[in-house]
């Protein structure tokens, strides 16, 4: 691989081309805007950066940000792993439905989930004390688990499902107990995928905003909420930029640690398409218990939401849904149009994230280590960057000439795709790395070109992971993640989450009922779309 | 090779630390002490002698917050009248709108901005965001709404942020003064919003400062905390979370004078009277302004839009779309507003320049009280 270094051969050109695409995309849509904003903030002056670094309150904020993210990540793993094991190892009817259902929280507006948590807390009597479901650290952690279980279940589940079972079978044949086999062999082999999922959950919770603000109460502050406070409540861009730099440094350090841990692992494991044996009754029984327990936990807030959407002045009924058909007051577009907007942006964001993410994954896998790590790190950074920084950065960067995208709808799916891409790469890269090298060698020795190898070997095996990533990109866009609210948009581009937010900013019982009904519709559509998307992992058309 | 990232991040740290020193060396710390020069005479020339005769086909952009809604025909009426096409851009909440405008002031995203209120107006004016323009429509606007003597910002609508209560759920008599909120009979009943993340929350803090003065408001808040006040991040988690309207347990909340009319209009099933009432003594006046953005290429068309925003066509469309009161005294009010949402005559106010100078200090002191 290294012998052509320094020479302009077709191979180095091809490799350069492979790396150039993802690099230019990242530089243009992430690094440049963020650098612009940080520079603007810092040149506002008044020593904000040093003051920020040396203040004791930022140290306690940074410490809280870090530990709540670590705790949220660990708890998410603990809650998600049993269900992940079931999804990966047991064939049962409704597996795709379970996978789709755990992803539903992803698209729900935080303000809706927070309301459901409060209602849950009221019913369980958990509204005060350390285990309160509102305004406590505990509430933040529970909400983070609620939102992130899907990341582990889907990312690790798809990898695990494709892992060959030879080592485990050998161990079992030699009489090793099942639990030892799991802890000594399976868990070790899952590490590349576990680390990939962990990094995403960690970054998500490290930069989480709405959950901390609404469920944490006035006392809990993270770097992300502080960036917002300084940039928005105080229009103090200098301090906001300084805080963003603190955030970026922490994120780079922690992602580097994660990548380093991963590189200490074996470079490849055996991954192949395999058929799953039919489960026996005991396995099936335990599986259903796991599914019931996990889905049961996740669905408590969702059931409350559904119930609220059905509550009307005359008992339970579908009045709220019916009244959505006429355009409710306060919305700039009809709910149908908002839904069409949401789906359109989500399709575009998914397409961008899948293409760029897929390309990036190949570049990561086939590039020399240094470039590969830089790309890997670079594409994780948008997840670990404050939405204020990214959104305002885009706003002041794409503001003139042919790059004036400020009034353009294009900026919405682009910004959302930036958050979706790492989901694609983190799902696909471990799979590509684990493809048995003998497969590629055999194909090459039979005269296949690198492009043919990618098409005939890499793509079919990585397809399931690509679908997992695409599903997340879709859900992220539907849930309006990211920086779009700081860029601004034309009112006729109103999406479902924005419509829900608008309805919920108004007194009046029937208006609130309609917001809840719209939330339920968003959940149902997400589930249906994910069911369809997930089908692509088996069929021959992607 | 395995150490490449450790090296990289160490190098990054050094570079960033150097950057930090550089940035801190060239600044000073006097900004926070400087008093607002908000209502000093502006150096920007005013727009005068507006005629729309040759403006047909001009396209201008109106930036607003997300809560801006109108009936579909309203802006179309402006285009019919003048030939000027209005594009809109909505930017988050009022705070995001103002921060965005300050950030992009050298290359504004729009020609006209609507949605900056009296608590933020001096931030925008100090940043020289707006061009003075005295609209003829101001003749029909009450003097107390015209806060800027140089008309960089034109009042478009107003309302009051007031403490609301759910009449049937109160433990005692309906509260009549802010002092009643610290009465033990109302312990655990009041929920309000964080002034740093919520506009009504900030207005309520200003109400207490206006009422009890620079020397008394902190004691009042200490008593509120002792009486188990609850603080939420936003209006929604107060009103629909902890207030009884959304199934919560508390009966007193910070909301708007226009909330009872909304509860009446959108009640399900319909009611004869709203279930909520307003604590008149707590109301803080909130005025929303529009201004022509400095740097616009279309000053006349932008000024024409300001004129239109003060016309009765626009003004009469405002109440039921945004639940605020029209600034134009000639505009007719909907019945529900007349009957259930009378504004108080002597709402609490604070000079916007004083708000701008003290805002960060007040919220910092507020934080110290509620965090203890």
What is the spatial distance between Cα B323 and Cα B262, in angstroms, rounded to a whole number?
A: 8
Q: Do the chains contact at A233 and B363, CB–CB below 8 Å?
A: yes
What is the spatial distance between Cα B260 and Cα B278, in angstroms, rounded to a whole number?
A: 8
Q: Are residues B196 and B303 in the same domain?
A: no
* Residue among B29, B36, B268 with most chain A CBs within 10 A, to mutate: B268
Three-state secondary structure readout of A379-400: HHHHHHCCHHHHHHHHHHHCCC
pLDDT for A247 equals: 94
pLDDT for A16 equals: 84
Is B20 inside any structural domain?
no
What is the spatial distance between Cα A164 and Cα A168, in angstroms, rounded to a whole number?
A: 9
> Considering chain A, what is the average pLDDT of its residues?
86
CA atoms within 13 A on the CB side of A11: 11
Of A47, A229, A400, the CB nearest to B27: A47
Which residue, A318, A303, A338, is CA-closest to A501? A338
> Considering chain B, what is the average pLDDT of its residues?
88
Q: Is any Cβ of chain B less than 8 angstroms from the Cβ of A20?
A: no
pLDDT for A124 equals: 81
Q: How far is A97 from chain B (nearest CA, A)?
A: 31
Read off φ and ψ for residue B289, nearest 5 degrees. -120, 160
Helix or strand holding residue B303 (H, E)? helix B299-309
Residue B299 CB contacts under 8 Å (≥ 6 apart), including other chains: B47, B131, B133, B292
Chain B: residue whose CA lies nearest to A52: B20
A41-45 long-range Cβ contacts below 8 angstroms, 24+ apart = A41/A237, A41/A238, A41/A240, A41/A241, A41/A242, A41/A244, A42/A238, A42/A241, A42/A242, A42/B19, A42/B23, A43/B23, A44/A237, A44/A238, A44/A241, A45/A238, A45/B23, A45/B26, A45/B27, A45/B28
**Model confidence at B330, in pLDDT bands (50, 70, 90)?**
very high
Q: Which residue has the tokens 């008093």?
A: B35
Q: Do the chains contact at B266 and A511, CB–CB below 8 Å?
A: yes
- C-alpha distances in Å from residue A32, one per residue of A39, A390, A529: 10, 10, 34
Winning range, highest mean pLDDT, from A129-133, B262-266, B278-282: B278-282
pLDDT for A105 equals: 87
Which residue, B244, B237, B100, is CA-closest to A505? B237
End-to-end CA distance of chain A: give it in Å, rounded.
31
Q: In 3-state terms, what secondary structure has residue B274?
A: coil
Question: Could you say which residues from 173 to 212 on chain A have a Cβ atom under 8 Å away from some Cβ of chain B?
Answer: none
* Residue among B90, B102, B276 with most chain A CBs within 10 A, to mutate: B90
Peptide bond just before A368 cis, omega within 30 deg: no
Q: Are residues B83 and B213 in the same domain?
A: no
Lookup: tokens for B72: 């579909």
**Cα B317 versus chain centre, distance:** 19
**Model confidence at B343, in pLDDT bands (50, 70, 90)?**
confident
Q: How far is A335 from chain B (nearest CA, A)?
A: 15
Q: How far is B336 from chain A (nearest CA, A)?
A: 13
Lookup: tokens for A90: 């047991």
How many other C-beta atoms can be found within 10 angstroms of the C-beta atom of residue B2?
11
Comparing A171-180, A190-199, A201-210, A301-310, which segment has the lowest mean pLDDT? Answer: A171-180
Q: Is any Cβ of chain B less than 8 angstroms from the Cβ of A433?
A: no
Q: Is any Cβ of chain B less than 8 angstroms from the Cβ of A484?
A: no
Q: Do the chains contact at A122 and B234, CB–CB below 8 Å?
A: no
Q: Are residues B296 and B357 in the same domain?
A: no
Which residue, A273, A287, A263, A288, is CA-closest to A165? A273
Q: Are residues B112 and B165 in the same domain?
A: no
Q: Are residues B279 and B292 in the same domain?
A: no
Is B86 inside any structural domain?
yes
Residues present in chain B in total? 372
Of A40, A53, A329, the CB nearest to B20: A53
Winning range, highest mean pLDDT, from A85-94, A442-451, A491-500, B298-307: B298-307
Of A218, A373, A505, the CB nearest to B67: A505
Which residue, A111, A84, A113, A119, is CA-closest to A99? A84
What is the spatial distance between Cα B65 and Cα A323, in angstroms, rounded to a whole number?
A: 26
Tell me which of A327 and A42 has the higher pLDDT: A42
Say what the pTM is: 0.88
Read off φ and ψ for residue B63, nearest 5 degrees. -95, 135
Mean pLDDT of B220-238: 94
Tell me which of A180 and B204 has the higher pLDDT: B204
Residue B199 has pLDDT above 80, yes or no: yes
Using CB atoms within 10 A of its CB, is residue A2 exposed (0-12), middle (13-18) or buried (19+)? exposed
Is B98 inside any structural domain?
yes
Q: How far is A458 from chain B (nearest CA, A)?
A: 26
Is B347 inside any structural domain?
no
How large is the angle between the packed helices A411-433 and A137-162, nearest 10 degrees? 50
What is the spatial distance between Cα A381 and Cα A31, in angstroms, rounded to a whole number?
A: 9
Q: Are residues B184 and B249 in the same domain?
A: yes
Chain A: residue whose CA lies nearest to B265: A508
How many other C-beta atoms can be found within 10 angstroms of the C-beta atom of residue B275?
18
Residues B289 and B157 sit within 8 Å (Cβ to Cβ): no
Three-state secondary structure readout of A19-40: HHHHHHHHHHHHHHHHHHHHHH
Q: Which residue has the tokens 């029937």?
A: A510
Q: How far is B49 from chain A (nearest CA, A)?
A: 30
Q: Is any Cβ of chain B less than 8 angstroms from the Cβ of A118?
A: yes
Q: Do the chains contact at B90 and A506, CB–CB below 8 Å?
A: no
**Model confidence at B59, in pLDDT bands (50, 70, 90)?**
very high
Which residue, A227, A171, A151, is CA-closest to A419? A151
Is B45 inside any structural domain?
no
Q: How far is B154 from chain A (nearest CA, A)?
A: 22
Q: Are residues B274 and B166 in the same domain?
A: yes
Mean pLDDT of A484-488: 80
Of A330, A396, A498, the CB nearest to B104: A396
How large is the angle between the packed helices A32-43 and B4-25, nearest 10 degrees? 30
Is B281 inside any structural domain?
yes
Q: Are residues B231 and B170 in the same domain?
A: yes
Residue B13 has pLDDT above 80, yes or no: no
Q: Are residues B298 and B309 in the same domain?
A: yes
Tell me which of A13 and A3 has the higher pLDDT: A13
Is B83 inside any structural domain?
yes
String of DSSP letters for A310-322: HEETTEE-SHHHH
String of DSSP letters for A446-464: TT--HHHHIIIIIHHHHHH
* Residue among A124, A488, A503 with most chain B CBs within 10 A, to mutate: A488
Q: Which residues pair with B230 in a beta bridge?
A: B191
CA dihedral A454, A456, A461, A467 (to 10 degrees): 80
**Model confidence at B23, in pLDDT bands (50, 70, 90)?**
very low
Chain A: residue whose CA lies nearest to B108: A399
Which residue, B311, B288, B308, B306, is CA-closest to B296? B306
| Angle, CA of A287, A72 and A464, to the nearest 5° | 50
pLDDT for B200 equals: 95
Question: Could you say which residues from 398 to 417 on chain A have a Cβ atom under 8 Å away from some Cβ of chain B?
Answer: 399-400, 406-407
Chain A: residue whose CA lies nearest to B199: A233
Q: How far is B326 from chain A (nearest CA, A)?
A: 17
Of A219, A231, A507, the CB nearest to B262: A507
- C-alpha distances in Å from residue A77, one per residue of A84, A101, A202, A212, B68: 10, 18, 11, 20, 42
Tell me which of B342 and A275 has the higher pLDDT: B342
Helix or strand holding residue B86 (H, E)? strand B85-90
Q: Are residues B67 and B192 in the same domain?
A: no
Which residue, A170, A167, A213, A204, is CA-closest to A188? A167
Q: Do the chains contact at A509 and B245, CB–CB below 8 Å?
A: yes
Q: Do the chains contact at A488 and B27, CB–CB below 8 Å?
A: no
Express each pLDDT in A456-470 by its tens digit: 888 888 888 899 899
Give percent of chain B with pLDDT exceeding 70: 90
Q: How far is B371 from chain A (nearest CA, A)?
A: 6
List CB contacts (< 8 A) between A234 and chain B. Answer: 359-360
String of DSSP letters for A110-168: HHHHHHHHHHHHHHHT-SSSTT-SSSSHHHHHHHHHHHHHHHHHHHHHHHHHHB--HHH
Of A115, A235, A501, the CB nearest to B98: A235
CA atoms within 13 A on the CB side of B371: 11
pLDDT for A271 equals: 63
Residue B211 has pLDDT above 90, yes or no: yes
What is the spatial distance between Cα B215 and Cα B33, in angstroms, rounded to a whole number?
A: 19
* Residue among B29, B228, B241, B272 with most chain A CBs within 10 A, to mutate: B241
Is B140 inside any structural domain?
yes
Read off φ and ψ for residue B293, nearest 5 degrees. -75, 135
What is the spatial distance between Cα A9 and Cα A427, in angstroms, rounded to a whole number?
A: 32
Express each pLDDT in A211-227 by its tens digit: 999 898 878 899 999 99
Structural domain boundaries, residue B212 = 160-285+353-371
pLDDT for A3 equals: 47
Q: Are residues B314 and B363 in the same domain?
A: no
Q: Is any Cβ of chain B less than 8 angstroms from the Cβ of A40?
A: yes
pLDDT for A47 equals: 65
Express each pLDDT in A44-83 by its tens digit: 766 667 777 777 778 889 999 999 999 999 999 999 999 9
**Model confidence at A125, in pLDDT bands (50, 70, 90)?**
confident
**Model confidence at B28, in pLDDT bands (50, 70, 90)?**
very low
Of A219, A232, A489, the CB nearest to B99: A232
**Model confidence at A474, in pLDDT bands (50, 70, 90)?**
very high
Pairing of strands B252-256, B190-193: parallel
How many other C-beta atoms can be found within 10 angstroms of the C-beta atom of residue B83?
16
Residues A371 and A19 sit within 8 Å (Cβ to Cβ): yes
Q: How far is A535 from chain B (nearest CA, A)?
A: 37
**Cα A337 versus chain centre, distance:** 26
Q: Do the chains contact at A329 and B320, CB–CB below 8 Å?
A: yes
Mean pLDDT of A187-213: 91
ipTM: 0.87
pLDDT for B303 equals: 97
How many other C-beta atoms can be found within 10 angstroms of the C-beta atom of residue A123?
13
Q: Are residues B135 and B203 in the same domain?
A: no
Set out the domains of chain A in order of their start, with CATH numbers. 15-535 (1.10.3720.10)
Q: How far is A202 from chain B (nearest CA, A)?
A: 18
What is the spatial distance between Cα B153 and Cα B346, in angstroms, rounded to a whole number?
A: 23
Lookup: tokens for B343: 């504004």
Pairing of strands B154-166, B276-293: antiparallel
Q: How far is B124 from chain A (nearest CA, A)?
A: 10
Residues B254 and B192 sit within 8 Å (Cβ to Cβ): yes
Residue pairs spanning A and B at CB distance below 8 A? 222
Residue B136 has pLDDT above 90, yes or no: yes
Which residue, A190, A192, A358, is CA-closest to A259? A192
Q: Do the chains contact at B321 and A329, CB–CB below 8 Å?
A: yes
List CB contacts (< 8 A) between A330 and chain B. Answer: 67, 69, 321
Give percent of chain B with pLDDT exceeding 90: 73
Helix or strand holding residue B230 (H, E)? strand B230-232
pLDDT for A277 equals: 62
CATH code, B122: 3.40.190.10
pLDDT for A2 equals: 45
**Model confidence at A413, in pLDDT bands (50, 70, 90)?**
very high
Mean pLDDT of B45-64: 91
Read off φ and ψ for residue B231, nearest 5 degrees. -115, 125
**Model confidence at B4, in pLDDT bands (50, 70, 90)?**
very low
Q: How many structural domains compose chain B?
A: 2
**Cα B346 versus chain centre, distance:** 19
Chain A: residue whose CA lies nearest to B358: A234
Q: In 3-state terms, what secondary structure has residue B62?
A: strand
């Amino acid at each position: 691989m290294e012998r052509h270094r320094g020479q302009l051969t077709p191979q180095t050109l091809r490799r350069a081309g492979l790396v150039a695409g993802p690099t230019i995309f990242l530089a243009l849509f992430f690094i440049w805007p963020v650098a612009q904003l940080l520079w603007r903030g810092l040149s506002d002056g008044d020593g904000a950066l040093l003051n920020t670094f040396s203040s004791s309150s930022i140290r306690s904020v940074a410490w809280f940000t870090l530990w709540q993210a670590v705790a949220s990540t660990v708890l998410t793993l603990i809650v998600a792993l049993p269900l992940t094991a079931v999804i990966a190892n047991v064939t049962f009817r409704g597996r795709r439905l379970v996978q789709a259902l755990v992803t539903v929280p992803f698209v729900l507006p935080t303000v809706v989930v927070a309301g459901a948590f409060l209602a849950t807390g009221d019913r369980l009597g958990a509204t005060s004390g350390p285990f309160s479901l509102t305004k406590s650290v505990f509430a933040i952690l529970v909400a983070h688990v609620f939102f992130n279980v899907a990341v582990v279940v889907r990312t690790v589940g798809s990898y695990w499902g494709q892992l060959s079972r030879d080592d485990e079978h050998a161990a079992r044949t030699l009489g090793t107990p099942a639990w030892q086999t799991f802890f000594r062999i399976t868990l070790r082999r899952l590490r590349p995928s576990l680390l990939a999922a962990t990094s995403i959950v960690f970054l998500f919770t490290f930069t989480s905003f709405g959950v901390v603000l609404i469920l944490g109460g006035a006392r809990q502050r993270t770097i992300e909420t502080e960036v917002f406070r300084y940039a928005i409540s105080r229009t103090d861009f200098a301090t906001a930029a300084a805080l963003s730099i603190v955030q970026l440094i922490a994120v780079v350090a922690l992602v580097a640690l994660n990548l380093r841990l991963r590189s200490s692992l074996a470079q490849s494991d055996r991954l192949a398409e395999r058929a799953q044996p039919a489960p026996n009754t005991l396995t099936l029984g335990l599986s259903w218990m796991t599914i019931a327990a996990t889905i049961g936990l996740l669905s408590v807030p969702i059931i409350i939401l559904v119930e609220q959407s059905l509550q009307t002045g005359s008992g339970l009924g579908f009045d709220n849904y019916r009244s959505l058909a006429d355009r409710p007051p306060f919305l700039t577009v009809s709910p149908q149009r908002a839904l069409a907007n949401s789906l359109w942006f989500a399709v575009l964001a998914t397409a961008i994230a899948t293409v760029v993410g897929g390309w990036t994954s190949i570049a990561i896998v086939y590039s020399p280590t240094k470039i590969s790590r830089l790309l890997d790190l670079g594409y994780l950074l948008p997840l670990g960057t404050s939405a204020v920084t990214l959104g305002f950065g885009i706003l002041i960067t794409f503001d003139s000439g042919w790059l004036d995208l400020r009034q353009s709808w294009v900026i919405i799916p682009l910004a959302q795709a930036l958050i979706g891409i790492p989901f694609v790469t983190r799902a696909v890269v471990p799979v590509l790395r684990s493809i048995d090298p003998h497969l590629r060698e055999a194909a090459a020795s039979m005269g296949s070109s690198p492009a043919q190898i990618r098409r005939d070997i890499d793509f079919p095996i990585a397809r399931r992971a690509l679908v997992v990533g695409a599903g997340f990109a879709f859900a992220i866009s539907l849930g309006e993640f990211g920086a779009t609210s700081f860029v601004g948009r034309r009112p006729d581009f109103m999406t479902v989450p924005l419509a829900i937010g608008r309805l919920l900013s108004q007194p009046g019982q029937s208006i609130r009922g309609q917001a809840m009904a719209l939330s339920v519709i968003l959940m149902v559509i997400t589930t249906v779309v994910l069911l369809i998307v997930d089908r692509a992992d088996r069929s021959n058309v992607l | 090779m395995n150490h490449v990232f450790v090296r990289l991040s160490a190098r990054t740290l050094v570079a960033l630390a150097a950057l930090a020193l550089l940035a801190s060396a060239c600044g000073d710390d006097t900004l926070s002490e400087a008093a607002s020069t908000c209502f000093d005479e502006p150096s920007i020339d005013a727009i005068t002698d507006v005629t729309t005769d040759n403006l047909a086909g001009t396209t201008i952009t109106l930036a607003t917050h997300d809560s801006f809604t109108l009936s579909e025909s309203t802006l179309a009426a402006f285009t019919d009248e003048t030939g000027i096409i209005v594009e809109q851009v909505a930017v988050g909440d009022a705070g995001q709108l103002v921060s965005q405008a300050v950030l992009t002031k050298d290359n504004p995203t729009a020609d006209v901005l609507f949605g900056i209120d009296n608590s933020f107006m001096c931030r925008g004016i100090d940043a020289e965001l707006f061009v003075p323009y005295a609209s003829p429509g101001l003749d029909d606007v009450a003097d107390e709404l015209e806060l800027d003597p140089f008309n960089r910002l034109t009042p478009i609508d107003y309302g009051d942020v007031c403490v609301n209560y759910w009449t049937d759920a109160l433990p005692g008599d309906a509260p009549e003064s802010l002092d009643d909120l610290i009465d033990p009979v109302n312990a655990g009943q009041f929920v309000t919003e964080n002034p740093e993340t919520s506009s009504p929350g900030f207005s309520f803090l200003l109400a207490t400062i206006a009422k009890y003065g620079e020397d008394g408001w902190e004691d009042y808040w200490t008593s509120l905390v002792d009486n188990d006040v609850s603080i939420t991040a936003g209006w929604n988690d107060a009103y629909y979370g902890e207030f009884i309207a959304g199934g919560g347990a508390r009966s007193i909340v910070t909301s708007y004078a226009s909330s009872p009319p909304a509860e009446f209009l959108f009640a399900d099933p319909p009611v004869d009277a709203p279930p909520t009432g307003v604590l008149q003594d707590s109301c803080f006046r909130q005025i929303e302004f529009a201004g022509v953005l400095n740097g616009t290429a279309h000053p006349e068309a932008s000024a024409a839009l300001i004129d239109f925003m003060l016309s009765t066509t626009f003004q009469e469309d405002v109440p039921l779309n945004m639940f605020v009161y029209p600034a134009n005294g000639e505009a007719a009010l909907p019945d529900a507003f007349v009957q259930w949402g009378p504004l108080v005559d002597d709402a609490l106010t604070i000079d916007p320049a004083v708000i701008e100078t003290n805002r960060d200090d007040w919220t910092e002191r507020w934080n110290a009280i509620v965090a203890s």
